[in-house]
Amino acid sequence: MLLYLLITCLSFLFFKTLPLKPLPPWASETPLLSLFFWKDFSFFALSKFTKQGLSIVFRPRIPSRMSLVRRTLSLSSSKVENVDDTPEMSVLDLPELVLECILDKLPPDALFRMTGVCSSLRERCRSDHLWEKHMKMKWGRVIGPAAYREWQWHIASKTDLIDVKQGKQKGLMRILSLGWPFSWIRSKVDDHGSKQRSSLPADSIMSWYLALETGRFWFPAQVYNRENGHVGFVLSCYDAELSYDPCTDTFQARYPPHGRRAVAIEKGVSWERLRAPPVDTPPHDLHVSDCLNELRPGDHIEIQWRRNKEFPYGWWYGVVGHLESCDGNENYCLCHNSGTVVLEFNQYTHGSRWRCTNISRRDHREEGNEADGFYGGIRKLRSKQEISMWKLIWPTQVLE
């Protein structure tokens, strides 16, 4: 405060002794002197006064328009630089719940790319609870318990192979340690261990999803109307091993050998023709029928059938019919009390040997012969979705 008072008094004395001169023409264009003027004026006068004394004539610097513009630009640029220096906000700075919701909304390909951003996001994006939703949404209809068991066996065999390789590497390290520095060998082992820790866990759902998506993993499922709807397999569903083709969004099916026939391969199988096995029965085993006592005319069923004993079973669609002694009147029908169950396959014409067959309700086992084939276990269809699928692939023409 005293400094400003001293400057004001000195300035007043100087102006009083100086002769008055007319102002230059640019003075009328500067209606108000900025703070920069008073700042320059005060410190300039004080420095001149202290260095050269009172004999120096004081001439204050009045900033021109150009200097004002430059000063303003320099201040604005310094402010911009200060803004740029502030640290940017990262995705990891978001609240835990917000980040979790964002990752949950990502599609599988984006979620996979996020694993390459940083180590923290890699661990988050590999979580099973994020990939479980994608697995059910895309693969839930065609993946069953048999496919899961196959995946577990695949992991176990892969783990055993890795253990064997690690055992060989450890033996090699012991041999090398006799002639190489221990520190060098230790660094190589640490590098190998760090690579393994950063790799994707084999038993994670993400690993299973990627194995299915890339077609590297063949999984068991069932195919409707196998071999491109061959007439001998219409309205049937057979077991096969499948591999996904991401380029065509279809599957390649590999059917087990039938008797002397080699493995049959079918390409271009669409999603609509696939399903997960509804029962956990291998294709060569007889299914235990637990629904025989409740079968009534009009019920929808699937029954195992194979050409001969060397063939695997396929599941064939049919309905429960009436006995020949019944006129089909629901009020008087007693077919459900009979020990014989009539099965009808209405895709075949009347008079065809494949049109109808009878089975025993009480002690049903595999029945048939080499000419007509062998009928195996029966399962009752209780889901409208299963029934509608058979109706969807119903043949356009009656079969012979």
61: left (phi over 0), alpha (psi -120 to 50) or beta: beta
Stated as kind and residue range, the H or E segment containing 376 is strand 373-380
Q: What pLDDT sits at residue 169?
A: 55
The tokens describing 96, both together, are 């835990």
Residues 146 and 273 in one domain: yes
| 226-231 contacts at long range (C-beta below 8 A, 24 or more positions apart) | 226/253, 226/255, 226/264, 226/266, 226/314, 227/255, 227/264, 227/266, 228/266, 231/399
Residues 211 and 330 in one domain: no
For residue 184, being part of any structural domain is answered with no
For residue 208, being part of any structural domain is answered with yes
pLDDT beyond 60 at 277: yes
Residues 340 and 269 in one domain: no
Least confident of 84-98, 191-205, 371-385: 191-205
Least confident of 157-171, 232-246, 271-285: 157-171
For residue range 203-250, what is the model confidence (pLDDT) as tens digits? Answer: 899 999 999 999 999 999 999 999 887 888 899 999 999 999 999 999
For residue 77, being part of any structural domain is answered with no
For residue range 1-27, what is the model confidence (pLDDT) as tens digits? Answer: 555 555 555 554 444 444 545 555 544
Mean pLDDT (whole number) for 36-53: 44
Least confident of 19-33, 43-57, 156-170, 386-400: 43-57
For residue 51, being part of any structural domain is answered with no
Number of helices (H), then strands (E), belonging to the chain: the values are 12, 11
DSSP of 318-345: EEEE--TT----TTT--GGGSSEEEEE-
Residues 268 and 356 in one domain: no
DSSP of 148-195: HHHHHHHHHHHHHHHHHHHHHHHHHHHHHTTTS-HHHHHHHHHHHHHH
How many separate domains does the chain show?
3
Residues 152 and 247 in one domain: yes
Range of the domain at 251: 142-157+203-277
As a whole number of angstroms, the distance between CA 357 and CA 359 comes to 7
Q: How many other C-beta atoms can be found within 10 angstroms of the C-beta atom of residue 219?
A: 24
Stated as kind and residue range, the H or E segment containing 123 is helix 119-125
Residues 120 and 103 in one domain: yes
As a whole number of angstroms, the distance between CA 341 and CA 325 comes to 13
Least confident of 85-89, 179-183, 196-200: 179-183
Counting residues of the chain whose pLDDT is more than 90, the rounded percentage is 53
Q: What pLDDT sits at residue 193?
A: 46
Name the residue with higher pLDDT: 366 or 53. Answer: 366
Mean pLDDT (whole number) for 102-123: 93
Mean pLDDT (whole number) for 384-400: 92
pLDDT beyond 80 at 394: yes
Residues 108 and 153 in one domain: no
Residues 226 and 353 in one domain: no
As a whole number of angstroms, the distance between CA 121 and CA 112 comes to 10
| 329-333 contacts at long range (C-beta below 8 A, 24 or more positions apart) | 333/297
Residues 151 and 258 in one domain: yes
